[in-house]
């Protein structure tokens, strides 16, 4: 008789493991609906619980408003004294594609402008370091692009050259660049 009883499986002593027998609960449709309703009601009850701050506002509204303003002012002063309220200033450089030729030209122009401003004299004259002679010439190339035009030395072309000359001389920086024309 002792041989008919199998020794207990140590893995299933507490009904765990892969060969454990799990009772299957089958609910009716009505019980499933009731279970869903109970879960929804529990969630609604949890959402309907009052909040601590809301309760305090109902009892002490002026105090809660005052403390809220104190907290806002405190954080404002903290950010002011730590200087963390100022974002870095946005420049044109932030909006450019770094590999684009226009960006490279923009960077070169900005560097040249900064160098010129750095080396300008106290009265605003800009030194021209690339020109070592005093009797240098400013050459402007003008190309005739109209159809049938092969010479710029026409009445219209001379008017255009005169407009270019007026435009250059009317620039406020021109007397600082060309000291010969300066007063």
Q: What is the structure's pLDDT at 152?
A: 75
Domain boundaries, the chain: 29-86, 91-120
Residues 18-63: pLDDT tens digits?
A: 555 555 567 788 888 898 999 998 988 888 888 888 889 899 999 9
Q: What is the structure's pLDDT at 31?
A: 86
Residues 105-137: pLDDT tens digits?
A: 878 888 877 877 776 667 666 655 555 556 666
Query: How far apart are alpha carbons 182 and 173 in whole angstroms?
Result: 10
Query: How far apart are alpha carbons 127 and 179 in whole angstroms?
Result: 10
Q: What is the structure's pLDDT at 135?
A: 65
Element (H, E) at 105: helix 101-119
Query: How far apart are alpha carbons 50 and 56 in whole angstroms?
Result: 10
pLDDT at 76 over 80: yes
Side-chain half-sphere CA neighbours of 143 within 13 A: 2
Residues 137-183: pLDDT tens digits?
A: 666 677 777 777 777 778 887 888 888 888 888 888 777 766 655 55
Q: Is this prediction's pTM over 0.75?
A: no
Q: What is the structure's pLDDT at 11?
A: 54
């Amino acid at each position: 008789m002792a041989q008919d009883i199998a020794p207990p499986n140590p893995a299933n002593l507490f009904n765990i493991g892969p060969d454990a027998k799990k009772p299957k609960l089958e609910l009716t449709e009505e019980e499933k609906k009731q279970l869903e309703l109970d879960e929804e009601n529990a969630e609604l009850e949890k959402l309907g619980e009052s909040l601590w701050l809301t309760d305090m506002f109902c009892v002490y509204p002026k105090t809660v408003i005052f403390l809220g303003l104190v907290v806002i002012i405190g954080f404002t002063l903290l950010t002011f004294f730590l200087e963390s309220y100022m974002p870095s200033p946005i420049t044109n450089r932030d909006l450019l594609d770094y590999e684009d030729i226009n960006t490279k030209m923009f960077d070169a122009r900005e560097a040249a402008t900064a160098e010129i401003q750095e080396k300008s004299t106290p009265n605003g004259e800009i030194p021209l370091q690339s020109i070592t002679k005093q009797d240098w010439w400013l050459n402007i190339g003008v190309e005739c692009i109209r159809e049938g035009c092969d010479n710029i030395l026409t009445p219209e072309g001379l008017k255009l050259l005169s407009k270019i000359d007026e435009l250059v001389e009317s620039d406020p920086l021109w007397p600082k660049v060309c000291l010969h024309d300066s007063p």
